[in-house]
């Protein structure tokens, strides 16, 4: 069994996160490693949760949204979790589309301002 568990250091290395991040995720109860003395060990369940957490962060979900989504799986199962994900994804897609529009507008304005400045100089 011990070969299926990761140490704290191995978990940080596998996911390229800082010890502070890993401790914080534990503090806010996103992760619950097994503890033996002062050592922490991460089971395949915790590794899977960490994968989902980082994926959620990549897509811009808040840690609270991720925490609630993981809780749904524990309390209601896969079907409810899938439905919750679709709802979260729909909301996030709208937010990301708006951010994209704002970024495209800022890029265009900056390019125009740069062009005007180049002409004036």
Catalogue all structural domains in the chain, each as residue range(s) with its CATH number. 6-120 (1.10.1660.10)
Sign of CA dihedral 30, 35, 38, 42: negative
Q: What is the CA radius of gyration of the chain?
A: 21
Q: Which tokens is 101 given?
A: 């529009």
pLDDT (0 to 100) of residue 3: 64
Strand ranges across the sheet with 34-36: 6-7, 39-42, 34-36
**pTM score:** 0.80
d(CA 103, CA 61): 19
Closest to 67 (Cα-Cα) out of 83, 56, 79, 80: 56
Question: 86 exposed, middle or buried (CB, 10 Å; 0-12, 13-18, 19+)?
Answer: exposed
Q: Mean pLDDT throughout 39-62? A: 95
Q: What is the pLDDT of residues 83-121, one digit of tens each?
A: 999 999 999 999 999 999 999 999 999 999 999 999 987
pLDDT tens per residue, range 2-11: 468 999 999 9
pLDDT for the residue 1 = 46
User: How sure is the predictor about 29, in pLDDT bands with cuts at 50, 70 and 90?
Assistant: very high
Q: Are 8 and 22 in contact (CB under 8 A)?
A: yes
């Amino acid at each position: 069994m011990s070969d299926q568990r990761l140490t704290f250091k191995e978990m940080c290395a596998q996911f390229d996160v800082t010890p502070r991040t890993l401790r914080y995720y534990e503090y806010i109860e996103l992760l619950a490693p097994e503890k033996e003395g002062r050592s922490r060990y991460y089971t395949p369940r915790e590794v899977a949760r960490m994968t989902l957490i980082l994926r959620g962060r990549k897509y811009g979900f808040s840690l609270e949204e991720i925490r609630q989504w993981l809780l749904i799986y524990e309390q209601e199962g896969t079907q409810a979790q899938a439905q919750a994900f679709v709802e979260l994804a729909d909301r996030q897609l709208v937010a990301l589309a708006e951010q994209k529009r704002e970024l495209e507008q800022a890029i265009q304005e900056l390019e125009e301002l740069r062009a005007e400045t180049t002409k004036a100089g």
